[in-house]
Structures are given as C-alpha cells and as structure tokens.
Amino acid sequence: MRQSEKTDWFFVVSLSLLLSLGLLNVFSASGSQKSLFTHQLVFVLAGVGVFIGASVFPLRFLEESTPFLYGFTTILLILTIFFGGGPAGRWLQIGPLNVQASEIAKLCVIVLTARWLPALRRESVSGGVSLYLFTVGILTVLTFLQPDLGTAVAMVMIIFGMIYWAGFGFGWIFLFLSPLFAAISSIKFVLWMTFTATLCGVLYRSGAKPRRWVFFLVMTSIVAAATPTAWGILRPYQQARLTTFLNPEADPHGAGWNVIQSKVAIGSGGVTGQGYLNGSQNELAFLPARHTDFVFSVWAEEWGFIGSVFLLFLYMVLAWRILNGARRSLNPFNSMVGAGTAIFIIIHVVVNVGMTLGMMPVTGLPLPLVTYGGSHLVTEMMLLGFSYNAIRNWRSY
C-alpha cells in the first residue's frame, strides 16, 4: 500500500539551507583555490539529483536489493585496499571519478541493518545474530584497512544507535557490541577478564545455546588478541590523532597544531563572528584542512556563537523530522532506514564539531552537507532521499 503525504517543509527548508550555507562556507574556506567551490557546486547539483531519485525509489526494491548492494560495496572496499590512491589511499579512481568506498559502506551498513534487525526481533533468522555480526564485521574491517579508522568507528556507532531504535534490550545490545568491548578490554588483562565474565553472564541470562557461547567467546577472544596488532597497523598520523586530543598542547607544532588552531578560530569568532570572508585564521591560512576536517571552525570564526547555534539548529530540525517519520512508519525496514539516517547525521555532527573543539580525536568524519567532497555528499543525499521517501509514504507497509 502506498499513499504519499504532503511536502514536509521543515525537512525541505532545513536541507536546502544546509546545502546553501555549506556552499558559502566552502567558498570562504577555499581561499585562492576557487575551483574547490566549483567542484562543490557540481557535487551539490549531483546530490540533489540523487536525492530526487531516492525520494521516489521503491523502498521495497531497496530492501530486496540489499545482498547486491552488500556485494558491490565489498568489492569496492577490496579494490580500494589494493588500488586506492589519494592522500591517504582511500579513493578509488573510476574513470573521471574518485570514489571513496568507505562512504558507500556506511550507506550499506544502514540498509543491511535495517533489513536484518526487524527479522532478528521476529526470531525468523536461523543463527541471525552471529551471521549479522560476521557480515557487518567484514565491512567494518575492510573499511578499517582502507585505512579509514574514523569511518569504521562511525559505522559501529550507527549500528549501536539502530539497535537501540529497534528496541533490543541491554543483553542484545551488549552482544552486538561485544567485539568493540573486547577490543577496548584488551588494554589490560583485568579488563578483559571483567568483560569475559560479563559476557558469560549475559549469555547465561539470555538462555543461549552452546554454539552461541562458543561463537561469542571465541570471536571476542580473537578480537582482543588482534587489537594490539591492529593498533600497530595504524599509520603514525592515525595513532597521533587518537592520542593527541587528550593533550594537544603537548605537541603544539606537530599533531596538536590543527586542534589548537581550530580552537583559536572558534574562540576568535566570539558571539557574532568576524564576518563572512573576514576570519583571520581562515583567510591567513593558519587553519589547516579548513575546507574538509575543520570546516566548522571556518563557520564559527565568521558567524560566531549565534551562527554556530543556528547551523546546529538546522541539523536538529532535519534529524527531528526524519525520526518523526521513522517513528510513524508502518514498515519496519522504512522506519529503520530513517532512524539510521538520523543517527548518521547526529553522529557525524557531534564527532566533527567535537574534534574542532578538541573534545574528540580528529577522525576525518565530515560535517554533513557542509564539508567539501563528493562521495560523502552524494551518499548523504541518497540516504536523505530514502528517508524523505519513508516520511512521505509512512503508511506503506
């Protein structure tokens, strides 16, 4: 059954404003490289086209196409590992396009989880939990090996949010996140023992069968044992990003430079900002990666606290409308896709803004719809199109 609602103007206006303000901000952050603005304009137009297509695309077909999307994404991630290029080796050149496969992986994780979780709640999938963890685990590991640690962590956070939205109890959430807990507990043997004891308690209370006990105990032990090796695989700049945020002043001319300059830029914006194209940190190029990682710092310096609150308010409105539509949707898959998109937006905003304030490590997660780049912008617009589709067709089931 399909019966569309009227236009959600809160959604449309907030999305349009974010895209427009993002273009203005990229123009300011691009400095003498005005070609960046031209590229971003093309990305936005392409994203709008993708949004329109996704907003009318049959979500039932999207659900049925999940295995094909998963296979396509996995192939792209593997190809990127072996043939990727760019500053960090994360981009795969396909003709004239540079595609960041890890961005597509986030979309795939949302769609895959949206299809799987409702089935798991109905207990209609044999060995579903183990198979689901294995499936999304492959995407997460391949994303980590790009190397793209920030996106891999974001994928885990998105999964956690969707599990919570799906209504799973604490025990289920703990089991889903047990690989992450195992990795964290590998820091000290006592922590690992505590985690293992807790895991056994959860498995016992859930009445898990012996094969599930074996799966989780073996899997988490392997993850804990492999974590130190995985840390060694990280490139030095990634390790520095994870450790420097605790005390950026300890290396003010090295790994801490970006965060320090970002905090100076945000602080110099004051209440009302220094004015468009007048930010000293931005215009004098003291702020590194100002059109990518630290694009929020550019905005805060020029528009101040008031402008920053307004930008965050637009994100809040967008997430609110998506979650409202997801809550009303009669179709579990559509509801989960909408919730996953809202969680995607919230996590990216919190992490990106947090890293510009020095409250989180610099992971490279973009500020949705504002940060320069094509792969993430088109992916975001596709997810938003699917979500708007679900909002307008909430009666479909």
pLDDT (tens, 9 = 90+) of the chain, 397 residues, equals 455 567 889 999 999 999 999 999 999 888 667 788 999 999 999 999 999 999 999 999 999 999 999 999 999 999 888 876 655 557 777 777 778 888 999 999 999 999 988 877 665 444 567 788 788 888 988 888 777 778 888 898 898 888 888 887 777 778 777 877 888 787 777 788 888 888 888 888 777 777 777 888 888 888 888 877 766 666 665 555 555 555 555 555 555 667 777 788 888 888 988 888 886 665 555 666 677 778 898 899 899 999 999 999 999 999 999 999 999 888 899 999 999 999 999 999 999 998 888 777 777 789 999 998 888 899 999 999 999 998 888 666 6
Element (H, E) at 100: strand 97-100
Reported pTM: 0.84
Element (H, E) at 337: helix 332-356
Decide: 28 and 277 in contact? Cβ < 8 Å. yes
Residue 177, burial from CB neighbour count under 10 angstroms (0-12, 13-18, 19+): middle
Which residues, in sequence order, are CB contacts of 244 under 8 Å at separation 6+?
250, 251, 255, 256, 259, 361, 362
Half-sphere exposure of 118 toward its Cβ, with a 13 Å CA cutoff? 15
